[in-house]
Amino acid sequence: RTSALQRQPDSRRPRAKDESHQLLLTEPHWTPCRCSTKPDWAPCPPYTMRGLINYGAHCSINSVVQVLCGTHELRDLIWLVDEHHHRSPNTVAVRLKRLIYDMTKGNMSPCDPSLLVYAMAFYRGAPFDGQEDSDVVFKCIINALADDCGISNKIGRLWDIENEDRMRCLHCNTVQSTLNKSNMITVLIGNNLPTELQDYIKLYTDNTFTTCDYHCTHCHTGTQIEITSKVVTLPQVVCIRIERVRNIGRDTTDIVKTGTRFAFPEKLDLKYIMKDPEAPVATVYKLYTVVAHRGTHYCGYYTAYVRDDDIWYLADDSHVRVCSWEDVKSTYEAGSITIPLPLIIFIKRHFQESQVHNKCCFFRQSS
C-alpha cells in the first residue's frame, strides 16, 4: 500500500478540488475525529469563527490554523498571494489562503483543511499520519511561507525576532557578537523559575549562562565563555512557547509533560528582554490566542482560544463556541491530565491611545 506522501499530487500540475478531496476519502485513516463531539457546542452569537474538520490526529494543525486565521496581520497579506506564481516552490501559501477565505465566510459549517495538510506534508517530505506538536506545525507553516517568494515570504517573516548573542571569553575577556533570527520566544518551567510570565520576562535581564569546553580563537586556549542574549528588534506579533516537556532520564520513555501552574496576563511588557529597554519603541503586547493541550506527552488533544473583536472563542476542531477570559485563565492550573495547559501563546503589539493619536496626526501632516 502506498503512503499518503507518495500519493501527493504534483504541485506543478493543477488538480481540481473535487479530485483531491476524493483522493483523501479513499484512504481508510482519513475519517473525521469524533473524540470531541459534545451536545453543548452550539455556536453563540455573535458568531464569527468556523471550525475545522479533524481527519484523524490533526487537532494540533487545526489549532494552529485557527491562530493564523485570528492573526489580522496575516489575513491582510494572505489575500495578496498570487495563486498562479510560476516560481512558487510550494503550495502552502495558496492552500492557506483558500482555507482562510473559507473560514471567513458567513457560514457556520466546519471547513476542510485536508488540502493544506497535503501541501504541508509535501513541503516537509513526510505525511502527518500522527499527532504533531503545535510548535512543530507552526514552524512548518511559517518556514514554508518564508521559503516562498513574493508576499508569502513577507508573511513567513511576520514573527521574526532579531537577537544579539554576546560571547565573552573568561580567559582573555574578548567579546564576540552575532545576530540571529528566531520566530518564537521559549519560556522554561523549573523549580526555581517564576510561574508568572511577566515575572519571567523581567528575569530575562539576567539571562546569562556559562558553558565549558570552548576553544577561544583569540587566545587559543580551552576555556569557558559567558553568553548573554538580548532582543534587538521585535515584530508586530510574537509567539511565546511554554516548554512543558522535560527529560527525567536518558531514554525517550523518560520524557514527561510538566503540569506546573503557569499564568500569563492579557497585557505583557517585553521591554525587559530588549537590548535597549529605553528605546522609543512600543513594547506592550496584548494576548490574542492561546494553544492549549490536555493529556500526556505521548497522547493528548489540542484546542485553541482566539480573541476576535474583544470576544474570546474556544475552537475545538469542528466545534467553536464563545467563551470568556475566565475560561482562558482556567488553563493556568495544574492537576489532572484532563485539564488543558497552555503550550503556545500569541501576542500582538498594543498601541496606547496617545500613540494612536500621534500616528493619526503624523499621517494628517504627511498628507
pLDDT at 116: 95
Helix (H) or strand (E) holding 345, with range, is strand 341-349
Average pLDDT over residues 166-186: 88
Q: What is the pLDDT of residues 333-364, one digit of tens each?
A: 765 555 677 888 899 997 654 444 444 443 33
- Who's near 94: CB < 8 A, 6+ residues apart? 81, 83, 88, 119
Average pLDDT, the chain: 78
Q: Is the pLDDT at 232 greater than 50, yes or no?
A: yes
Phi, psi of 42 (to 5 degrees): -70, 135
Q: What is the pLDDT of residues 137-157, one digit of tens each?
A: 999 999 999 998 889 899 999
Domain 58-349 in this protein, CATH class: alpha beta
pLDDT at 343: 82
Contact in structure between 8 and 92 (CB atoms under 8 Å): no
Phi, psi of 29 (to 5 degrees): -80, -5
Parse the chain into domains and list their residue ranges.
Answer: 58-349
pLDDT at 91: 87
Contact in structure between 51 and 108 (CB atoms under 8 Å): no
Q: How far is CA 45 from CA 21, 34, 52, 193, in A?
A: 31, 24, 19, 41
Q: Is the pLDDT at 81 greater than 50, yes or no?
A: yes
Give me the residue label for grid cell 482555507. 99
Average pLDDT over residues 85-112: 86
Q: What is the pLDDT of residues 201-228, one digit of tens each?
A: 988 765 666 666 778 888 888 888 888 8
Q: The C-alpha cell of 266 is what?
A: 492579557
- Who's near 277: CB < 8 A, 6+ residues apart? 271
pLDDT at 294: 84
Q: Is the pLDDT at 88 greater than 90, yes or no?
A: no
pLDDT at 279: 77
pTM, rounded to two decimals: 0.78
Phi, psi of 135 (to 5 degrees): -70, -30
Q: Is the pLDDT at 40 greater than 50, yes or no?
A: no
Distance between CA atoms of residues 213 and 219, nearest Å: 14
pLDDT at 257: 67
**In terms of Cα–Cα distance, which of 316, 314, 313, 305 is closest to 46?**
313
Q: Residue ranges of the alpha helices (H) in the chain? A: 17-25, 59-69, 72-78, 92-103, 114-124, 134-146, 151-156, 197-203, 325-329, 353-366
| Amino acid at position 342, single letter | P
Helix (H, G, I), strand (E, B) or coil at 34: coil
Q: The C-alpha cell of 231 is what?
A: 532582543
Q: Is the pLDDT at 324 greater than 90, yes or no?
A: yes
Strand partners, 266: none
Average pLDDT over residues 156-183: 89
pLDDT at 354: 45
Average pLDDT over residues 277-291: 89
Q: Is the pLDDT at 108 greater than 70, yes or no?
A: yes
pLDDT at 338: 57
Average pLDDT over residues 116-122: 94
Lowest mean pLDDT among 57-71, 270-284, 339-353: 339-353
pLDDT band at 19 (very low <50, low <70, confident <90, very high): very low
Helix (H) or strand (E) holding 13, with range, is none
Contact in structure between 142 and 122 (CB atoms under 8 Å): no
Q: Is the pLDDT at 92 greater than 90, yes or no?
A: yes
Q: The C-alpha cell of 119 is what?
A: 501541501
Q: How far is CA 134 from the centre of its chain?
A: 7
pLDDT at 321: 92
Distance between CA atoms of residues 367 and 361, nearest Å: 10
